[in-house]
């Protein structure tokens, strides 16, 4: 029963870490897109999004390698990868949309 609690806690920490990192990466990508892109049709914003998406897999691998958390990034399935990509895209899309419509400049 004690190992069940530890396994549930590890799974919860993994989920919270992956979700938080995806959210922060999406918001950071939106901020960088605002500074780099000239407008909503500028494709350089998509390159920023792709770069942040790939970078967070490296960060997750680094967290796993250092031993801070047991993320098992090597065992990510298609569902896990799609989750990270979708969450990053969703946060980027909403954040960048808000920044574009508000006319904010950084």
User: Angle at CA 85, nearest 5°, toward 13 and 103?
Assistant: 105
Residue 67, phi-psi category: left (phi > 0), alpha (psi -120 to 50), beta (remainder): left
Distance CA 27, CA 95 (A): 6
**Would you kindly state where each structural domain of the chain is located, as residue ranges?**
2-102
> Phi and psi at residue 42, in whole multiples of 5°?
-75, 120
Determine the pLDDT at residue 19: 94
Q: Give the model confidence (pLDDT) of 14-69 as tens digits.
A: 889 899 999 999 999 999 999 999 889 999 999 999 999 999 988 988 887 777 77
Q: CA gyration radius for the chain?
A: 16
Q: Tell me how far the alpha carbon of residue 50 is from its chain's centroid.
A: 10
Under 8 Å CB-to-CB from 82, ≥6 apart: which residues? none
What pLDDT, on a 0 to 100 scale, did the predictor assign at position 15? 87
Q: Among candidates 46, 49, 39, 23, which has minimal Cα distance to 103? A: 39
Instruction: Please give the distance of CA 1 from its chain centroid, rounded to a whole number.
Output: 33
pLDDT confidence of residue 10: 78
């Amino acid at each position: 029963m004690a190992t069940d609690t530890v396994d549930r806690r590890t799974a919860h920490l993994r989920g919270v870490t992956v979700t938080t990192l995806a959210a922060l990466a999406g918001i950071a990508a939106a901020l960088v897109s605002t500074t780099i892109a000239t407008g909503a049709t500028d494709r350089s914003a998509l390159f920023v999004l792709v770069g942040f998406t790939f970078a967070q897999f490296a960060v997750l691998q680094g967290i796993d390698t250092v031993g801070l958390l047991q993320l098992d990034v090597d065992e990510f399935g298609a569902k896990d990868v799609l989750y990270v990509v979708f969450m990053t895209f969703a946060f980027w899309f909403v954040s960048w949309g808000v920044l574009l419509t508000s006319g904010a400049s950084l």
